[in-house]
Each structure stands twice: as structure tokens, then as C-alpha cells.
């Protein structure tokens, strides 16, 4: 396989990263998600490999590892952006409620649709298939909303991050129900969550206090290795590992809040803040690279023809319609009338794919067409694109109208003081 030789792979990897950078630039100008362009690039490469008579390659192990690392980097990147202040409390709580209720209701309706239309689908399996389809993609949302007003951008960062974490927790809670011997139930689930939070806080304080004293320049990848280790060990212990990553990000981003009272004397703020600043940079760049290869490999591994199946189109369209109807009701209740473009910013992406491939063998349904997954991802991304383009044009029109309206002026004439009588 000459096309997969060492030097060719170096060239191909380099070209993909360069193209991904260009896709991001195009995305910022057109609001077309870079993720869609990466998937299309992957599909094009799939056909190129077939044309070159390269045999079938199993990309799943690579896709799984990239998905996990990408997930960690994206959640950490989002957590580093979150400021915990009193004035942020209500926006955070509102985003949490909308994210949680939207996730559960979307999964419930999607499960009913899948149960109704797909032969052999049990309700238990329907919930497992529906949950990934109900999770917002922070991998797509966070890079796409940078041009929105600050409060709208903030809402999407919070909501998509909560949706990622809560969706993953809900998925693994449901998979626990497949094996009654390992299922800890609701009480066990919340006990597990509490234990995770305690471990995450202890680990976060320890990491900051240790790393602020490391003089070596080579410590950022060491820090990331420690976080990956904690995530992996957490998974082995059946903990909600993403909570560990989220809490560490929140602690290092809000050190003055977490290091108060007697703890203040142990914090070397200047050194710790330097770590935060560099971590912010390297996390963003690592997330970019991992996200790039995840979606390209996803494009390489999917059967694009499946989205043209009529049954797939009907089922997927019903799921997409339910997503936006539920979202409209929630936003109208909690946000009010100003819900554009937030209503249509609900793409599915990395976590949807990752969890889909994590569905246990005993819950998998042979009659489920993977085209539903692809159709929902592409459909929600295109809807978001249209909404973002419309919002950009609406904002530009309003600005142009304001700039073209001349403020009326009137000449001012000083009053004449008449001569006093007498």
C-alpha cells in the first residue's frame, strides 16, 4: 500500500491539518461548520482509497481513541472559559436546566420514534440509541458562536458543556441497567457522582499545588498526561470521569474563588496563572487537531449512500423536528422571545458518534441504519449554518441601517437680550 507508506502518511496528515485550518477560516466567514467540511473531506478520501484499490481498513480503534481524547480536550477547553461569579450564577443555572430538560425530553421522544419505526427495537435499546442523538455538540457549537453577543455566546458554551457531560452520564447510567448485577440504581448513581466530585476537587488542588512548583519547561504535556491518567482510572473505577476534567478546569480557571482563607498562602498565583494561560493555548490547539482527525476518519468510515434511504429520511426528519419543537418550548419559557439564533444552534457531532459506537453488543439492533446518525448530524449542522448566516445578515442590516440614518440637526441661535425699560 504505497499510499499508506511512512512519508506519504506524513504528507497526508500535514495536508489534512492545513485544510482543517483553512476550513476554520472559511467557517468564520460563511458560518458553515468546519465539521461538515471535514466529514466531506473524509468521504472524498474514502472514494479516493477505493479508486486506488486500497483494501478495507478498520478505523474504529483510531476513531475511538481520538474521540475520547477529543472529548477530554473539548470539555477542558470549555471549562477553562467558564468564570464562576455571582452575576454568572443565574445564566449557569438556566443553561443547566435547559440542557438537562432538553436532553431528557429529546431522548424520550427520539426513543418513541425509534421504537415505533424500527423493527426489533426494544424500548431499552431505543433509549440507548436515542441518547447520543439528543446530546448537543460542544465541538461544533463553541467554535461557531464566537461572533454572537456575549450573553448568547456564554449561554451556548454553558449549555453545550452541560449537555455533553450530562448526556454521557445518562448514557452510562442506561448501559448499567443492561446488567442487573452491576446496576447500582439511582442511589448508587448519585453516590458515584458525589465520590467523583470529591476525588476531582482533591486531585485539582493537588495538581495545582504540585505543578506551580515545577521549574522545568516541560510540564504542560505532563499535566495533560496526568489528566488523561485520572480519566482512564476513573473509567476503570466506574466513575463519571468527565466530571474530574470539568472540575479541574473550573478550579484552575477560578483559582481566587477556590483558594480562599488559609489556602491563599499555599497558592503561588503568578506561577499557577501562567500554567492556566499555557494550558488554555495547548488545549485549544490539541482539541483542534484531535477534532480534525476524528471527523475526517468518521467520513472515511461511513456509508454515505445510507442517508438517501426513504425510511432513514423519515425517521431522521421526525427526530430533528422533535429536537427543535422541544427546544422552542424550553427557550420560550426560560429565555423569552429573543431566541434567535439560539433555537437553531443544536448540532449533533463528536459525542453522538462516540457514544453510538459504545452501545453494548447486547443492546445493538441489526435493523438500525447508521444513516440515521449521519442524517441527524448533517441535518442539524445545516440548520445551524442557515440560522447563523441569517443572524449575521440581520445584524449587518441593522448596523447598516443605523449608520445610514442621519441624525437631525438644527442651527442654534443665541437669544437677543432686549434693552431694559426705564
Inter-residue contact 182 to 176 (CB < 8 Å): yes
In a domain, 10, yes or no: yes
Identify the pLDDT of residue 385: 86
Domain total of the chain = 1
In a domain, 328, yes or no: yes
ω into 129 cis (within 30 of 0): no
In a domain, 414, yes or no: no
Identify the pLDDT of residue 22: 93
Inter-residue contact 307 to 330 (CB < 8 Å): no
In a domain, 263, yes or no: yes
**CA 49 to CA 4: how far, in whole Å?**
10
In a domain, 399, yes or no: no
Identify the pLDDT of residue 180: 57
In a domain, 249, yes or no: yes
- Torsion region of 31: left, alpha or beta (phi above 0 gives left; psi -120 to 50 gives alpha): left
How many Cβ atoms sit within 10 Å of the Cβ of residue 30? Answer: 12
Identify the pLDDT of residue 398: 61
Identify the pLDDT of residue 313: 92
In a domain, 409, yes or no: no
Inter-residue contact 316 to 372 (CB < 8 Å): yes
Identify the pLDDT of residue 422: 45
**CA 363 to CA 358: how far, in whole Å?**
10
Domain that holds residue 171: 2-360+368-394
Q: pLDDT tens digits, residue range 146-171?
A: 778 888 888 888 898 888 888 888 88
Inter-residue contact 127 to 107 (CB < 8 Å): yes
Q: Residues of the chain whose pLDDT is less than 50?
A: 420-422
Q: Which CATH number characterizes residue 218's domain?
A: 1.20.1530.20
Which pTM does this prediction carry? 0.81
In a domain, 37, yes or no: yes
How many Cβ atoms sit within 10 Å of the Cβ of residue 398? Answer: 10
Identify the pLDDT of residue 245: 87
Q: Which residue in the block uniquely carries the three cell numbers 448568547?
A: 152
Q: pLDDT tens digits, residue range 233-242?
A: 888 887 778 8
3-state secondary structure the chain: CHHHCHHHHHHHHHHHHHHHHHHHHHHHHHCCCHHHHHHHHHHHHHHHHHHCCCCCCCCHHHHHHHHHHHHHHHHHHHHHHCCCCHHHHHHHHHHHHHHHHHHHHHHHHHHHHHHHHCCCCCHHHHHHHHHHHCCCCHHHHHHHCCCCCHHHHHHHHHHHHHHHHHHHHHHHHHHHCCCCCCCCHHHHHHHHHHHHHHHHHHHHHHHHHHHCCCCCCCCHHHHHHHHHHHHHHHHHCCCCHHHHHHHHHHHHHCHHHHCCHHHHHHCCHHHHHHHHHHHHHHHHHHHHHHHHHHHHHHHHHCCHHHHHCHHHHHHHHHHHHHHHHHHHHHHHHHCCCCCCCHHHCCCCCHHHHHHHCCCCHHHCCCCCCCHHHHHHHHHHHHHHHHHHHHHHHHHHHHHHHHHHCCCCCCCCCCCCCCCCCC
Per the structure block, which three cell numbers stand in for 108? Answer: 424520550
C-alpha distances in Å from residue 279, one per residue of 15, 204, 224, 273: 26, 14, 9, 10
Amino acid at each position: 500500500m504505497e499510499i499508506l507508506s511512512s512519508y506519504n502518511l506524513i504528507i497526508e496528515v500535514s495536508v489534512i491539518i492545513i485544510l482543517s485550518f483553512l476550513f476554520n477560516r472559511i467557517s468564520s466567514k460563511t458560518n458553515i461548520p468546519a465539521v461538515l467540511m471535514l466529514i466531506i473531506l473524509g468521504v472524498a478520501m474514502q472514494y479516493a482509497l477505493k479508486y486506488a484499490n486500497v483494501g478495507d481498513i478498520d478505523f474504529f480503534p483510531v476513531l475511538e481513541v481520538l474521540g475520547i481524547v477529543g472529548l477530554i480536550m473539548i470539555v477542558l477547553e470549555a471549562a477553562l472559559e467558564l468564570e464562576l461569579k455571582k452575576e454568572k450564577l443565574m445564566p449557569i443555572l438556566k443553561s443547566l436546566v435547559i440542557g438537562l430538560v432538553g436532553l431528557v425530553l429529546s431522548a424520550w421522544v427520539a426513543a418513541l420514534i425509534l421504537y415505533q419505526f424500527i423493527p426489533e427495537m426494544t424500548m431499552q435499546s431505543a433509549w440507548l440509541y436515542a441518547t447520543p442523538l439528543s446530546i448537543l455538540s460542544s465541538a461544533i457549537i463553541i467554535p461557531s458562536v464566537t461572533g454572537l453577543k456575549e450573553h448568547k455566546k456564554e449561554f451556548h458554551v454553558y449549555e453545550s458543556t452541560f449537555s455533553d457531560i450530562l448526556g454521557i452520564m445518562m448514557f452510562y447510567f442506561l448501559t448499567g441497567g443492561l446488567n442487573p448485577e452491576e446496576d447500582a440504581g439511582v442511589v448508587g448513581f448519585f453516590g458515584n457522582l458525589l465520590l467523583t466530585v470529591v476525588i476531582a476537587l482533591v486531585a485539582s488542588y493537588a495538581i495545582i499545588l504540585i505543578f506551580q512548583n515545577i521549574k522545568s519547561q516541560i510540564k504542560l504535556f505532563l499535566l495533560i498526561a496526568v489528566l488523561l491518567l485520572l480519566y482512564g482510572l476513573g473509567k476503570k473505577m466506574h466513575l463519571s470521569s468527565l466530571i474530574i476534567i470539568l472540575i479541574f478546569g473550573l478550579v484552575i480557571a477560578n483559582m481566587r474563588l477556590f483558594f480562599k482563607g488559609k489556602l491563599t498562602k499555599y497558592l503561588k498565583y503568578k506561577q499557577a496563572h501562567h500554567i492556566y494561560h499555557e494550558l488554555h493555548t495547548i488545549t485549544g490547539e490539541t482539541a483542534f487537531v484531535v477534532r480534525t482527525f476524528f471527523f475526517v476518519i468518521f467520513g472515511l468510515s461511513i456509508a454515505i449512500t445510507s442517508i438517501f434511504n426513504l425510511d432513514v429520511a423519515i425517521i431522521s426528519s421526525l427526530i430533528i423536528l422533535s429536537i427543535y419543537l422541544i427546544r422552542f418550548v424550553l427557550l420560550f419559557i426560560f429565555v423569552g422571545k429573543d431566541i434567535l439564533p439560539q433555537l437553531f444552534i443544536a448540532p449533533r457531532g463528536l459525542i453522538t458518534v462516540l457514544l453510538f459506537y459504545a452501545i453494548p453488543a447486547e443492546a445493538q439492533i441489526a435493523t438500525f441504519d447508521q444513516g440515521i446518525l449521519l442524517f441527524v448530524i448533517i441535518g442539524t449542522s445545516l440548520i445551524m449554518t442557515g440560522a447563523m448566516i441569517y443572524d449575521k445578515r440581520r445584524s449587518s442590516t441593522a448596523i447598516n441601517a443605523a449608520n445610514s440614518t442621519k441624525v437631525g440637526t438644527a442651527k442654534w441661535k443665541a437669544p437677543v437680550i432686549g434693552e431694559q425699560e426705564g
